[in-house]
Structure 1
Amino acid sequence: MASQGGVTAQQYEESVVIEGVKHIVAVASGKGGVGKSTVTVNLALAMAAEGYRVGILDADIHGPSQAQMLGVPEGVRPQQAGENKFKPLESHGVQAMSMAFMVDTREPMVWRGPMVAGAFQQLLTQTAWQDVDVLFIDMPPGTGDIQLTLAQKVPVDGAVIVTTPQDIALLDARKGIEMFRKVNVPVLGVVENMSLHVCSQCGHAEPIFGEGGGERIAAEYDARVLGRLPLTLSIREQADSGRPTVIAEPEGEVTGTFRDMARQIAEQLGEQPEGGGPSISFSD
């Protein structure tokens, strides 16, 4: 199915089950700087607000950012859970695991590809996830070693592609979509970030990075646009401060967009809160 260096369907079928996790959703982008990690943390928090048990795995070994976005203080380490496992840390009601919890983030991770892929696999399989309905994996940009390990070892239920409307970002987003298609991972949808900037002084709206890009790429691959997010200073400031938008402004318009995206993802995964209320119990 795949050429040299690619992933075959057989390899994907041999992937292992991750204990304590019901569904795995990869959040990916073809390039850096499109706001993928910010989208990931807010999507996870929105899913938790909808009543699901949620986890985040920060798969960016070289540049982990979820610890700061979740407000986990520097130096906090996970506790052991048995001989070869660690308990995930919890913040804002979400379970989380990141290389930032294991090392001094001020020191560079000067590792080659196999070491990076091995570290990612250990974080995933040696974390004692507690009855997680949806585990979001914040992928590093590109289609390298970690993406290959994910495709070979992990039963991913779906992928969310984050892009900006900018043409160069769309070119790289296509590569991400093609990668998931090669390993039969459904693309749950496209998130168009930084789609519109509204001036805080005069209210003028301007599509700085272009417009319609998310729709074009979604149509090209028969996927849906899960939502469009504005280019605003507050989203960045809130994530940097450890209180992402869904927490900082629970009744805000942007939070409403994230919660709508979370509901769409849950629908495609076949997950629905039981009894019509905002809660769900974990079951196999």
Structure 2
Amino acid sequence: MEGSLRDITRDVEIDQNGNLVLHIFLPRRGVEDILKIKLMNALGDIEGLNSVKVRFYTAQAGQPQQPPQGGMPQIPTLGPGLPPKRKIPGIKRVILVGSGKGGVGKSTVAANLAVALKKAGYKVGLLDADIYGPSVPTILGLKNAVVSVNDNQKILPVEKNGLKVLSIGFMLPNEETPVIWRGALLMKAIQQFMFDVDWGELDYLVVDLPPGTGDVQLTLAQNLILDGAIVVTTPQDVALADVKKAVAMFEELGVPVLGLVENMAYFVCPNCGERSYIFGKGRVEEYAKRKGLEILAQIPTEPSVSEASDRGEPVVEAYPESLTAKAFEELAQKVVKKVPIPQ
């Protein structure tokens, strides 16, 4: 660790199961979330560590700015910090879909989960918060869609087959236009998507996050009351290593992790229907068991499914009898069970 971090670390605890807790004293509020993410990214790959938690202590007005050396600071409460989290008006539940890295099919999972919830009779919205790589318009066949505003200057989502959808992709000249924004502008855009949109009355808002652990995740966690997060992975070790960071991030930000979705879990032969575990088997189950997480769904790889996505047809609608569609419907059922609509 750098010297400055050693200076503010007051205690380190680690148990026999590899659960690490850092106790850190800060002279002021405002940097906790960023520091948490940096610490988890730095420590997350250490062999033998199962989880990393950070506990912050902050001096309040009239109290000493440095605690006694050699022990925990005698400061039981934190000073004034961020404004209280809010709910989006009219939306009952907000579910995040994230991943530790790109290329694992996160957006496909988010889109088909939203469609499956809608087919189950719920009022559903889908927010594509992957600002730098919006793929929801392609998956849902909405590449030519544009948004409008109402008389109150609120953005109106695009609606398709009863599903309300919003993506930065609807606001770009074409799908090849890059979004080149700094963090402050990115966070402002996310805040607009949260509170300057007329979603109407929704049971569930599914949010497709960008991959990794960054500004968008922090902005949502700091501003919104979130009901849960689903983390998408594939069976490979390289994907699973980053999933551990994503799970740790949600835990540290106080977002309940509903479970994991293992995408591309196996290949289904289009001729004989035989299953082949081309990316390996068992790694995700082992990690989930160690963390006490549920595998909410194991999504197969079927050629027809990939073709449907390229055509802008979610598999839940295009091939409702396929193994993939059934897996997404089971995922939706588990989400409803874990996060029911309040009566």
Q: Which has the higher strand share?
A: 2
Corresponding position of 2:135: 65
Gaps of 5+ in 1: 272-282
Deviation readout 1:173-232 (Å, 9 max, x if unpaired)? 111111111122111111101011133345553212111222122212211111101122
Equivalent position SS for 1:191:
strand
Deviation readout 1:59-78 (Å, 9 max, x if unpaired)? 0111111112111142x322
For the pair shown, which has the larger CA radius of gyration, 1 or 2? 2
**What letter matches 1:261 in structure 2?**
L
2:302 to 219, 232, 251: 232
Contact 2:143 2:169 in 1 (8 A): no
Q: TM-score, normalised by structure 2?
A: 0.74
Equivalent position SS for 1:168:
helix
Gaps of 5+ in 2: 1-22, 24-31, 38-55, 57-77
- Report whether the alignment pairs 1:92 with 2:153: no
2:91 to 21, 29, 34: 21
Pick which of 49-58 and 7-16 moved more. Answer: 7-16
Structure with higher RCO (Cα < 8 A, 6+ apart): 1
How many residue pairs match? The answer is 272
**Structure 1 residue 261: deviation in Å?**
0.9
Distance 1:82 1:147, change over 3 A: same
- Report whether the alignment pairs 1:5 with 2:35: yes
Contact 2:308 2:318 in 1 (8 A): yes
- Report whether the alignment pairs 1:117 with 2:187: yes
RMSD of aligned C-alpha atoms?
A: 2.1
Equivalent position SS for 2:130:
coil
1:147 to 217, 238, 253: 217
- Report whether the alignment pairs 1:45 with 2:100: no
Deviation readout 1:222-271 (Å, 9 max, x if unpaired)? 11111101122222221121111001012332212111110110111123
Pick which of 196-205 and 1-10 moved more. Answer: 1-10
Pick which of 91-100 and 80-89 moved more. Answer: 80-89
**What letter matches 2:333 in structure 1?**
R
- Report whether the alignment pairs 1:30 with 2:100: yes
Corresponding position of 1:244: 314
Pick which of 201-210 and 62-71 moved more. Answer: 201-210
Equivalent position SS for 1:5:
helix
Distance 1:146 1:11, change over 3 A: farther
Deviation readout 1:59-99 (Å, 9 max, x if unpaired)? 0111111112111142x322212333111111132101000
Identity among equivalent pairs (%): 40
Q: TM-score, normalised by structure 1?
A: 0.89
**Structure 1 residue 19: deviation in Å?**
1.2
**What letter matches 2:153 in structure 1?**
N
Distance 1:12 1:256, change over 3 A: farther
In 2, Cα distance between the equivalents of 1:186 and 1:241?
Answer: 34
In 1, Cα distance between the equivalents of 2:141 and 2:81?
Answer: 37
Equivalent position SS for 1:190:
strand
